[in-house]
Amino acid sequence: MVTLSQLWGNTALGRSSNPAIRAATSSRELHAIGRLRYRLFVERGGESFVHASHGDGWLLEPIDTASLNLWAGPERRCLAAARLTQGVDAVTDPRLAAMLRRSALPEAEHPHSLVLSRLAIRHQASARPLAQALARHAYRVGLEAGADTALLASRPADIVFFTRLGFRPSGAAWTEPGVGELRCLTLAMRDRATLRAASSPLLAELDAFEANDPSGTAKVSILDLGDDL
């Protein structure tokens, strides 16, 4: 069985510069993320999922076992979460594969992409600042994976959040059942001019990453579905 450290490396599994952000490495943490998803997407959002466990009150999917799930919050309370999946695994998941097909990313590059999905943030004041912290850590993981381009799908109401990070709208909008209208946004991972123009907090992550003189060469893209902000 392939472990998360083999898929992602020990650096990705460690804590971020923000002590509230870390990768979920235990079943307890993964189930806490699943309960947060269930509360936001099933109970509150009214969405329907094949893999939702109504008896246990959590939403976990087969693709989670190959994904890097980020946890945000104190030790025993998950306030926000996001899922990163490598493209070679994402193409095996119906929903993530559909996201890839709707993107402008050439099909030949799908296996080399990095997909960010199931962004879930509690509707309370203490959780809101964690959205940016999650974005920064996901961006850093993307850089370490050799990411070249970031592509995300967002609800119209959340586009402002992503443009402040440096993303720009791209492509036509579409409607997804149970979710509503979605729109693609893109960001060149190392486009300093765009990051600087947006006063993006991601620029600090790029500075820190390049200061370590990384040698990553693989070209990867990030897809991000803004499930809940």
Q: Which two tokens stand for residue 50?
A: 């094949």
Terminal C-alpha separation, the chain: 34
Cα 174 from Cα 154, distance rounded (Å)? 10
pTM for the model: 0.83
193: left (phi over 0), alpha (psi -120 to 50) or beta: alpha
- Structural Rg of the chain based on CA atoms: 16
User: What does each of the 229 residues of the chain score in pLDDT, given as a tens digit?
Assistant: 567 777 777 777 766 778 889 889 889 999 999 999 999 999 888 888 889 889 999 999 999 999 999 999 887 789 999 999 887 888 899 888 887 888 877 888 777 778 888 989 998 877 888 888 999 998 888 888 777 777 777 889 999 999 999 988 877 788 888 778 988 777 888 999 999 999 999 999 999 999 985 443 334 444 544 444 4
Domain boundaries, the chain: 4-226
Rounded Cα distance between 226 and 229, Å, is 7
Give the phi and the psi of residue 214 in degrees, each rounded to 5: -70, 155
Strand partners, 85: 115
Give the strand pairing for 174-176 and 180-188: antiparallel
- Domain spanning 4-226, CATH class: alpha beta
